[in-house]
Amino acid sequence: MHGRAPGAGSATMGQASAPTWFTTPAEARTRLAERGYVADDALAMSVFLAIRMGRPLLLEGAPGVGKTLLAQVLGEVFDTEVIRLQCYEGLDLAQAAYEWNYPRQLLELQARRAGDHPVATDGIFTETFLLRRPLLRAIDASNTRAPILLVDELDRSDEEFESFLLELLSDFQMTIPELGTVRARHRPVVVLTSNRTRDVHDALRRRCLYHWIDYPSFDKEVDIVVRRVPGLSDHVVRRIVAFTQRLRAEELAKLPGVAETVDWAEGLRALGVADLEPAVVSATLGLVLKHHDDIETVRKDLLVKLLAAGAP
């Protein structure tokens, strides 16, 4: 089993160059870091195993901790296409996998009628009339090299869709009645994310490797901000991170994620601030907090306290 890579198990081995997969968890960590994604050893292990074992990676965690970003960075690391399927309620096969281009087919039929074509429905259920949606595109893309398939915010879809996904993920093939079965040549690397607004079903969880992404530690978050927003002084970065980290201990409707910290740091860099003054913080709080109530609470009661103690 050593050295087994995604796609190696499928019937046809691709001749195109396969991405060079990670050989150790430590390598996963380094190569992600090179692209500016700071992962701890636990996440690096999950990513490494998911890729090497050809299993989907299910990421859960609060919004803005880098779940989606991980998939995008993986695409960069392996220099392969990232195909994103954004889930929403009511998402169905037609939007997720494929759909026939009915207006075009109808026009074709009309045109043929005019020309007294003998067999009306011949040749309208072909690839020309097929609209490819992300899941089918992921299978198609796998012809050359394994893509990254990002199924984003799975918790927003309906349970029916989850069971369809479960089926697809098990063998990466899809049957289109009019066309036949299409199969992934190189198994895509699948990343599923969930914000936990709904519990993802156990059957799907078991098919995946599971990882909970927590808010990062102070040092890790400093590291992330330094990498993502270069050009800020160390002092300011530490003050920014200390502030958001303390915000997370408060009772707020929506806690700031790492994404908010980074946004805020970018904002402050653009303003060219040398230190976190209460007035600047107050004016830019909208980059960190996304609820009016939260902003008011912090402005009124917490600002001085949160800024007081400096870096922890």
Tokens at residue 215, please? Answer: 């808010």
Regarding 269 and contact with other proteins (CB under 8 A), the answer is no
Instruction: Quote the tokens at residue 120.
Output: 């009306």
Interface pick for other proteins out of 13, 16, 179, 253 (rule CB under 8 A): 253
Residue 212 lies near other proteins (rule: CB under 8 A): yes
Least Å distance, CB 284 to other proteins, is 24
CB of 68 to other proteins, least distance (A): 18
Whose tokens are 């600002």? That residue is: 303
| 68, β-bridge pairs | none
- Map the footprint of other proteins across residues 7-26, applying CB under 8 A: 24-25
**100/218 with CB nearer other proteins:** 100
120 binds other proteins (CB under 8 A): yes
For residues 193 and 189, give the distance between their C-alpha atoms in angstroms, rounded to a whole number: 13
Q: Kindly list the distances between the CA atom of residue 202 and the CA atoms of 46, 58, 194, 195, 199, in Å, as whole numbers in the listed order.
A: 18, 12, 13, 16, 9
Phi and psi torsions of 98, nearest 5°: -160, 165
Among 1, 304, 308, 309, binds other proteins (CB under 8 A): 1
Angle between helix 41-53 and 25-34 (nearest 10): 110
Mark the segment that binds other proteins (CB under 8 A) among 76-84, 182-190, 209-217, 268-276: 209-217
Span interacting with other proteins, options 31-39, 73-81, 120-128, 271-279, rule CB under 8 A = 120-128
Provide φ and ψ at 85, rounded to 5°: -115, 110
Residue 130's Cβ-side half-sphere holds a number of Cα atoms within 13 Å equal to: 17
Nearest-approach distance from CB 181 to other proteins, in angstroms? 22
How far is 23 from 35, CA to CA, in rounded Å?
18
Question: Stretches 27-35, 68-76, 206-214, 271-279: which one binds other proteins (CB under 8 A)?
Answer: 206-214
Question: Do 104 and 172 contact (CB within 8 A), yes or no?
Answer: no
Structure-block tokens of residue 176: 């289109």
x-or-dash string of contact with other proteins, 87-106, rule CB under 8 A: -xxxxx-------x-xx-xx
CB 45 within 8 A of CB 195: no
d(C-alpha 109, C-alpha 111), whole Å = 5
Q: Under rule CB under 8 A, which residues in 287-306 are in contact with other proteins?
A: 293
Q: Does 194 bind other proteins (CB under 8 A)?
A: no
Helix (H) or strand (E) holding 132: strand 130-132
Convert residues 25-64 into a mask of x (bound to other proteins by CB under 8 A) and - (unbound).
x---------------xx--xx-xxx-xx-x--x-x----
Q: Binding of other proteins at residue 217 (CB under 8 A)?
A: no
- Residues lying near other proteins in the complex (CB under 8 A): 1-2, 24-25, 41-42, 45-46, 48-50, 52-53, 55, 58, 60, 88-92, 100, 102-103, 105-106, 109-110, 112-113, 120-121, 124, 196-198, 202, 205-212, 251, 253, 293
